[in-house]
């Protein structure tokens, strides 16, 4: 069979872009054979910001341009790969490619989470697909699984660890008793965290991924402004120690859940997860996503969530799918966000059990004062704990932990505002959800 050559325009040649070039050079012939000899792909243009920046020897300097329109409009480019990040220039590149009916492959979760509604509308208008496996969980094929393998399922829930940097930091805080700043520096030294780790540690990298998964599964655009996001910057060793004593581990958890009224719960925050749950054993820079479909039941997907090779693997898989769509004039085989109306459950209406830590003045009646406010709001207490510091058993200020029964988050917030105003409470209460997953 004669191979049909497809040219690739690669916008971005950083770690992942270089990985894509190397993967195509390494396994191009294998891919061609696995496609029945019908598809052959090669990079025709490479967009970079700095032409003079040193690059891997596999990057052909003659293909480099700094003009994005030259790349997208090049008639030898049939598929555009967007790996530059951000939501400005990246949007222009993707929109232009779709208008020219050139399939797009992107790993840009922020772009799709914040401007996906516009781009999916263009995709539909021009009957040209956007492929985005690399946008969520690196080398784990979670997008393709939800789009294709679970196309006959109603997705009841998805829950997962989808940021490897935060997961590594929390593991090191737990195992080596490091504080957040020390664990972050270690992650940066090992290359697991960027020099600017803001989006990883404040939760928004994972939140963008969760928004994309929820939009895909439930079919309506979700505004990031409506999503509750909390990162790991405020996690203290004392909270991790308490979690271990109580039989939990702390994980940065994305929770997506459809309720009986079809409202969608979507939130991202550090949570207590039972040490017996399989997600508790996901360590290092690995990711895992648990999916509950009404037909398939529970499924778990686990693997490397970032890095050159895992993410490049996802991009190459999408490139093959894009080439097939051109070769056979087929629309996207899976489902995409289809524009239905939906309701995001306000965070105040979400319910879990809670761990709440108070910094209090150690005097008689403190527990009673706090418990009285909780009782007034009809919030049940399942336990209290205040460990004695052996180095300072007579300390004036101590940490008091309350474990609370499930209640609406908004109700808890009301109670905590009142408790924070008590004379015995010295700072804002610290709250972790105790997840039942």
**Complete DSSP assignment for 219-246:** -S---GGGSEE--STT--HHHHHHHHHT
Q: pTM surpassing 0.85? A: yes
Nearest residue to 342 (alpha-carbon basis) of 410, 259, 269, 253: 259
In order, the DSSP letters of 82-101 are E-S-SSSHHHHHHHHHHHTT
Superfamily the domain 4-142+308-327 falls into: NAD(P)-binding Rossmann-like Domain (3.40.50.720)
Fold of 347-434: Alpha-Beta Plaits (3.30.70)
Could you tell me what percent of the chain has a pLDDT over 70? 95
pLDDT in tens, 300-346: 999 988 788 899 999 999 999 999 888 887 766 656 666 678 899 99
Sheet holding 39-47, edge to edge: 64-65, 39-47, 4-11, 79-82, 104-106, 130-131
Reading the block at residue 260, the tokens are 């009986």
What pLDDT score was predicted for residue 392?
A: 57
* Spans of all domains in the chain: 4-142+308-327, 145-304, 347-434
Catalytic site positions: 209
Looking at 1.10.10.10, 3.30.360.10, 3.30.200.20, 1.10.1740.10, the CATH number of the domain 145-304 comes to 3.30.360.10
What is the pLDDT, as a whole number, of residue 58? 86
Please count the helices (runs of H) and the strands (runs of E) in the chain. 13, 16
pLDDT < 70 positions in the chain: 1-2, 331-339, 387-395
CA distance 358 to 415: 13
């Amino acid at each position: 069979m004669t191979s049909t050559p497809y040219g690739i325009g690669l916008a971005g040649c950083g770690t992942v872009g270089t990985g894509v070039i190397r993967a195509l050079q390494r396994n191009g012939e294998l891919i061609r054979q696995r496609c029945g000899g019908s598809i052959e792909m090669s990079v025709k243009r490479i967009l970079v910001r700095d032409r003079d920046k040193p690059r891997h020897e596999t990057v052909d300097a003659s293909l480099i341009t700094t003009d994005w329109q030259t790349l997208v409009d090049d008639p030898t480019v049939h598929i555009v790969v967007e790996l530059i990040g951000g939501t400005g220039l990246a949007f222009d590149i993707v929109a232009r490619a779709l208008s020219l009916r050139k399939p797009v492959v992107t790993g840009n979760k922020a772009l799709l989470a914040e401007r996906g509604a516009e781009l999916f509308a263009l995709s539909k208008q021009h009957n040209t697909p956007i492929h985005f496996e690399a946008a969520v969980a690196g080398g784990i094929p979670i997008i393709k699984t939800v789009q294709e393998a679970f196309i006959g399922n109603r997705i009841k829930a998805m829950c997962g660890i989808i940021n490897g940097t935060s997961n590594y930091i929390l593991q090191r805080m737990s195992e080596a008793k490091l504080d957040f700043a020390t664990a972050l520096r270690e992650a940066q030294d090992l290359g697991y965290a960027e020099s600017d780790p803001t989006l990883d540690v404040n939760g928004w990298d994972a939140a963008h991924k969760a928004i994309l998964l929820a939009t895909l599964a439930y079919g309506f655009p979700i505004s990031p402004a409506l999503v509750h996001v909390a990162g790991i910057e405020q996690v203290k060793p004392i909270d991790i120690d308490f979690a271990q004593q109580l039989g939990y581990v702390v994980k940065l958890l994305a929770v997506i859940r459809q309720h009986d009224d079809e409202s969608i719960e979507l939130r991202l925050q550090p949570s207590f997860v039972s040490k017996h749950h399989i997600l508790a054993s996901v360590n290092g820079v690995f990711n895992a996503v648990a999916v509950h479909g009404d037909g398939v039941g529970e499924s778990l997907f686990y693997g490397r969530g970032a890095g050159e090779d895992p993410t490049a693997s996802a991009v190459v898989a999408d490139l093959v799918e894009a080439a097939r769509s051109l070769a056979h004039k087929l629309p996207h085989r899976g489902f995409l966000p289809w524009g239905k109306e939906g309701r995001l459950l306000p965070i105040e209406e979400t319910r879990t059990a809670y761990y709440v830590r108070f910094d209090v003045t150690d005097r008689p009646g403190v527990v009673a004062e706090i418990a009285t406010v909780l009782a007034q709001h009809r919030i049940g207490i399942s336990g209290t704990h205040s460990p004695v510091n052996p180095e300072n058993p007579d300390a004036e200020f101590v940490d008091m932990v309350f474990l609370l029964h499930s209640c609406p988050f908004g109700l808890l917030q009301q109670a905590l505002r009142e408790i924070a105003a008590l004379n015995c409470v010295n700072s804002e209460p610290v709250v972790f959800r105790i997840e039942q997953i």
